[in-house]
Structure 1
């Protein structure tokens, strides 16, 4: 059950305010009896409620009388106070994150090989998005086929958001696709690229024939590879992420000639009705 305490009032403050709504204008002594707030605490409680702008006092009367602010107004004021507190907390947390980001980014990166894997559609997408968000300097995306189990509309939107963020960080993004994959993409996906990415100087898309498999090369030190289902090669089975500079260099050496021979793609063709 909802309580005024959920909005920041103490038990005594909540009792006093509710009692004032019932009694109307009254003195501190009368309110103490009506609310079961000890007489030794009632003035502190009323002062606090006044600071919250939940009660008004009639100082000219002897003894001094108090009246509750209307419930709608009181609740709006309590909610506004909570919003301010949450905003201040969010700013504090952001400051902590900024400090930790600076501190942690100065640490030496882990050297050597490391790999991890995700099995299943959602897990694979999560791993891919995580690794795209980790790019600092370059992203190479090679996509030869489209797995039917992926919702290309939803996944395409998520990937587009990560690519936008990468470009904002100064990352160079190169996308190599097969013509068949380009032809199979929904127009909505193409329009997203046209409006958000196509004209960015650090973003380029090209196409080439006989392109199979899907992988992502991140900062030339990490490769994220889509693994097809062995029982149905048309479906994705898992995503493997391998951090290995030597392997990544081999992948780059195989990619560069394909990229040089590939045809630039004008994504504005997607915008045609």
Structure 2
């Protein structure tokens, strides 16, 4: 059950405000009895409620009397106070993240061999987006068969956003596709790339025959290989992420001549 405590009031503050709504304008002594807030605490509670702008006081009367503001107004003020508190917290966390990002990025990267895999559509996309976001220098994307990376749904939109972010942070993006895949893509996919990426100097797209499979080469040291669903080739079944500089270098050597011979594509 919802409580005023959920919006930041203490138990005594909540009792006092509810009692003021019931009894109307009253003194601190009378409110202490009506709310079961100890007399030794009632003035602190009333001062706190005034700071929240949940009550008003009649200073001219002797003894001083208090009245509650209307519930709608009180709840709006409590909600706004919580919003400001959360925004301040978010700002503090963002500052912490900025400081830690500088500190952690200063560490020398370790390029030991390591591999992991994700199985299932959601897990595959999560891993793919994570690795795309990790690119610092270069991102080579090779697609010879249908892939959710280039669809019109939520996955394609997320990948597009990650590519845009990568370009904004200075990553060079090269996309090599088979002509058959280009022909199979809905026109709107090409339009999305035109609207979002085509004019960026770091984005390059080419087509070449005999391009098969789907993989991403990240910073020359890491490879993400998409495993298609055998029942639905347009959907990813799994993603293998392999961090192996030697394997990545060999893959780059195979890629380079195909890229040089490929035909630039205009969407």
Note the C-alpha offset of 1:165: 0.6
The DSSP-based 3-state class of the residue aligned with 1:140 is strand
Residue 198 (1) aligns with residue 198 (2) = yes
Alignment TM-score, normalising by the size of structure 2: 0.95
For the 8 Å contact 1:55–1:66, the answer to whether it is kept is yes
Question: Structure 1 residues 236 and 71, CA, compared in 2 at 3 Å: closer, same or farther?
Answer: closer
- Structure 1 unmatched ranges of 5 or more: 268-273
For the 8 Å contact 1:153–1:188, the answer to whether it is kept is no
Q: Distance in 2 between the 1:158 and 1:240 partners?
A: 19
For the 8 Å contact 2:206–2:259, the answer to whether it is kept is yes
Residue 238 (1) aligns with residue 238 (2) = yes
CA deviation vs aligned residue, 1:14-41 (integer Å, no higher than 9, x gap): 0110111111111111111111111111
Hey, what does 1:70 align to over in structure 2? 70
Residue 101 (1) aligns with residue 105 (2) = no
Q: Distance in 1 between the 2:149 and 2:88 partners?
A: 43
Residue 227 (1) aligns with residue 238 (2) = no
Question: Structure 1 residues 5 and 232, CA, compared in 2 at 3 Å: closer, same or farther?
Answer: closer
Note the C-alpha offset of 1:185: 1.3
For the 8 Å contact 2:150–2:189, the answer to whether it is kept is no
Question: Structure 1 residues 149 and 206, CA, compared in 2 at 3 Å: closer, same or farther?
Answer: closer
Hey, what does 1:270 align to over in structure 2? none
Q: Distance in 1 between the 2:205 and 2:130 partners?
A: 22
Note the C-alpha offset of 1:228: 4.0
- Once the two structures are superposed, the pairs formed by residues 122-161 of structure 1 within 5 Å of their partners are 122-147=122-147, 152-161=152-161
State how many pairs are aligned: 267
The DSSP-based 3-state class of the residue aligned with 1:20 is helix
CA deviation vs aligned residue, 1:114-137 (integer Å, no higher than 9, x gap): 111112222211111111110000
Q: Distance in 2 between the 1:126 and 1:33 partners?
A: 58
Note the C-alpha offset of 1:148: 7.9
- Structure 2 unmatched ranges of 5 or more: none
Residue 253 (1) aligns with residue 253 (2) = yes
For the 8 Å contact 1:121–1:150, the answer to whether it is kept is no
Note the C-alpha offset of 1:92: 1.1
Q: Distance in 1 between the 2:107 and 2:262 partners?
A: 39
- Once the two structures are superposed, the pairs formed by residues 44-55 of structure 1 within 5 Å of their partners are 44-55=44-55
The DSSP-based 3-state class of the residue aligned with 1:188 is helix
Note the C-alpha offset of 1:258: 0.8
Residue 172 (1) aligns with residue 201 (2) = no
RMSD: 1.8
Q: State the 4+ residue runs in structure 1 displaced beyond 3 angstroms.
A: 147-152, 228-237
For the 8 Å contact 1:221–1:243, the answer to whether it is kept is yes
- Once the two structures are superposed, the pairs formed by residues 182-197 of structure 1 within 5 Å of their partners are 182-197=182-197
Note the C-alpha offset of 1:231: 8.0
Note the C-alpha offset of 1:108: 2.1
Q: Distance in 2 between the 1:16 and 1:245 partners?
A: 67
Alignment TM-score, normalising by the size of structure 1: 0.93
Moved more, 179-188 or 6-15: 179-188
